[in-house]
Structure 1
Amino acid sequence: MNKVWWLALAVVILAGCSSNSSKPPSRYHIDQDVGPDREVDLSHVPDAVPKVEPRTRAGNKNPYTVLGKTYYLIEDESSYKERGNASWYGKKFHGHKTSNGETYDMYAMTAAHKTLPIPSYVRVTHLKNGRSVVVRVNDRGPFHQGRIIDLSYAAAQRLGISKTGTGPVEVEIIVPGDTPPPPLKPDDRPASHADGFYLQVGAFSSAASAKRLRDKVASSMNSRVFISEFNAAKPLYRVRIGPLTDEQEVNRVREQLPAVGVYNSHLVKD
């Protein structure tokens, strides 16, 4: 009997050791994101009020890489407008730091975006019910395929997507005073890229036309898309992708272009 008792005790001890040796818990207290514990009416929460704010390095690392993909910040967001799916994030991240070091509050009118400078202000409109909100972008994300913005729980509830999880939206920039702060240029691109190749996908006499194409191409590209201005008697605005380090990368980018309606491009080297 004593032998059986000691054997049972050993099994219990080993089980406890096995449990304690598992990987440490995440800094987030819950695994699956959820909303508040009980129903909360947030219809009274006011929109974010756009104002001119300084751009700092906090939250604006450019470029940055997440899950193997590299993202470049939009250099001039004054004409940004995009349609796609919005999602939301809540209790899992509530109280933790956002990308620029602020504390995430799921009851405030904020959002996460992959490439807009931080902070930015955008109007988000639900394409099915017509509801709209103004939110302040202070975080990075969402990094799920097919989603263009991650809203706070409060913003999602006001739009009517807090229960569905996602919804089709239009996101449009709001620039306080009509003039955005100077953009933060890419600061940590590998030196080997400096002499790389560029794909030119368009050239325009109109800056607005060049911006529209740049934004359209950038919406589906992991590589940097920018406008190179050629100053002559009449300015020329050239939309380019790069730098691209080798032929394999050039071919990869070219294969993605038809998806955004671009069928002609040529290689240049600056």
Structure 2
Amino acid sequence: MMICWRPSPRSRVLVPFSRTLLGVMGGVFLLGGCAQTQLLVHATKKLQTKEIRPEGVYKVGKPYEVNGVWYYPRVNYEYNETGIASWYGPNFHGKPTANGEYFDMNEVTAAHKTLPLPSKARVTNLENGRSIIVRINDRGPFVNGRILDASRKSAQLLGFEKKGTAKVQVKILADESRMMASKASPSQVSQGAVKEIKVAAAPQEVVTSEALPPPPGTMSDALPEDRGVTITAHSAGDAAVPPAQAEVTPKQPEETEITYATVKPTQIYIQAGAFANLKNAYKLQDRLAAIGQAQISQTWVESRPFYRVRFGPLESVKKADDLLDSIINAGYKDARLILVE
């Protein structure tokens, strides 16, 4: 143990010059040693108190319910969707994510409702063309009409931090996500995580041919001749064709690198349902008349016509949110916000 000696003013006496010099030199040595000791102790304390972050686990998860809505996590390396993204930050900073990591709002991450954790995805802002790669390590957002919750850093890179929301395309990076799954050690894998869950994902189109009983006195079984249906060109349909991929550079950049994609203008619609039977589309249109005037448009899925009941285009995310909440609260929980070019 090194003792740090400091002479007391009360102990001063007259001594020969040589002894005084030796004493001064010894004091300097001891004081220097004290400074080094204090520096070492301070550094040791910093090392001991440095936060050790958990690695988290690889997980897919079981179906779960939030606010009356069911979500079905699954392995889906073909995931490619457009919709509205939001961001989260200070209120969750430092708290555990759904796979056991700590959320850091200053890292390039995001939350998704169903993709495996962790996964990697390319997120493109369809309003300004900015495109980045994010690490999906959390669940959410549990708000109607949202497909992604970005960290504050991700929102900054994509250019919508101040605005709060943005129209985005989210496309999983299959090879990178497979590699993340394969690298997970047995201790890092939650039970049943790597095995694909045999549960169908939430449908892209709410398709049914079951008859819906109309409210008494509102309509007859015969189709009115003057009711219009918008007919689209024969195609595979929205449910069969993924959203158009953004044109980006082939090189895979680092997460913090921003690339720019060619994007097209999109409009916001609320889709309340889609049916194989036109009568059922009319019935739903009548039931929603108190909320607003919905249009019926026709599309094709595997050479079969389907009829979609939609509201729009809507001029803002706020108006779309309000309308979507009204439709869901009326009992139509499969209604969703969509982007249409």
User: What's the TM-score, normalizing by structure 2?
Assistant: 0.39
Could you tell me the TM-score, scaled by structure 1's length? 0.48
Higher relative contact order (CA 8 A, sep 6+): 1
Indicate the structure (1 or 2) with the bigger Cα radius of gyration: 2
